[in-house]
Amino acid sequence: MVRSFFGFIGRRGFEFVDTSADFFREISGLYYLTRSTLYCTFIEPLRGKPIKWRPVWTQMEEVGVKSTTIVFLVSFLIGVILAFQSAHQLSRLGALEFVGALVGVAILRELGPLMTALVMAGRVGAAFTAEMGTMKVSDEVLALETMALNPVKFLITPRFLALLIMLPCLTIMADLMGILGGFLIGTTTLGIDPVVYINNSLDAMVVKDVVTGLIKSVVFAVIIVMVGSYMAFIIEGGAEKVGQNTRTAVVVSMILVIIADLVFTSLFFFVF
């Protein structure tokens, strides 16, 4: 009994050591991949190996343009929901006309960047892992290496640049759509005077809100691309691994996006 108890503890202890070792190995792998991506994207072009923009354009269309509908829809609905929820609370305080201010600030500072990043983690992060994972499994990545072509530069850099540019753009559009959603509900269903709504909103929102939101979205872009790519590059073996790692990539990048959001929000809270 006692022995089995200690055996249990011991096994758990070893399991814990094993998992944490795995965890740190993953973190360091992610770190090295990110470092070499940053090197290939920003340092190498300065050393006379210019970036080819054609694959970047293709990826920008793939991750950006084709995501607009879903991002518009989600952020518009978030604006609508936010207006309803806040109206309920604010009307009890007799401050119904401040719905616009609350919706605007919440969207710009938090929900716009975060929701866009989460939608993109699901849509684009999964696609990155599935695409590159399939290439890994079918020896295409090895073929690149043996042709003396750097897979990081060839596969990750275009995706990295594309999302780095497109995620902030999508975030701005999501902000606008969210605010529009709130405005439509506020002025119709809630019966707030449009001029009052707009004035209150503009009084509450400042440029800093937009800027902090965009800084966050750049960080989110890095997380989504790097987790998606890393999960693809560590695949060994067959097709079922591609499916598993795609799922892991989405889950991990969503969690990391929210953790990063917390870190940056608290940073902005204390610093600015």
Partner 1 sequence: MIEINHLRKSFGEGDKKIVVLDDFNAKMEKGQITSIIGGSGSGKSTVLKHLIGAYTPDSGEIWIDGEEVSLLKGEAANSVRKKFGIMFQSGALFNSLTVEDNVALPMREHTELNESTIQIMVKMKLEMVGLRGAEHLKPSQISGGMVKRIALARAIALDPKIVFYDEPSAGLDPISIGVIDKLIMDLSHKMGITSVVVTHEIPSAMRISDKIIMLFKGIIIASGSPDEIRNSDDPRVQQFIEGSPDGPIPFSKSQTDYGEELKEMSQV
Dihedral (C-alpha) 153, 114, 245, 223: value to the nearest 10 degrees? 30
First to last CA, the chain: 58
Pick the closer one to partner 1 by CB: 121 or 135.
Answer: 135
CA distance 174 to 178: 6
Considering the complex, what minimum distance in angstroms separates the CB of residue 195 from partner 1? 52
Q: Which is nearer to partner 1, 46 or 93 (CB)?
A: 46
Residue with tokens 């799922």: 247
Name the minimum Å distance from CB 135 to partner 1: 8
Helices and strands, number each (H, E), in the chain: 12, 0
- Which residues of this protein are in contact with partner 1, per CB under 8 A? 135, 138-140, 142-143, 145-149
CB of 131 to partner 1, least distance (A): 8
- CA 109 – CA 102 distance, rounded (Å): 11
Where does residue 9 rank: exposed (0-12), middle (13-18), buried (19+ CB within 10 A)?
exposed
Nearer residue to partner 1 within complex by CB, 18 or 139 = 139
Residue 198 burial (CB count, 10 A): 16
Q: Between residues 191 and 237, which has the closer beta carbon with respect to partner 1?
A: 237
Measured from the CB of residue 132, what is the shortest distance to partner 1 in angstroms?
11
Report the C-alpha gap between 160 and 162 in whole angstroms.
5
**Nearest distance, CB of residue 48 and partner 1, angstroms:** 13
Nearer to partner 1 by C-beta: 4 or 146?
146
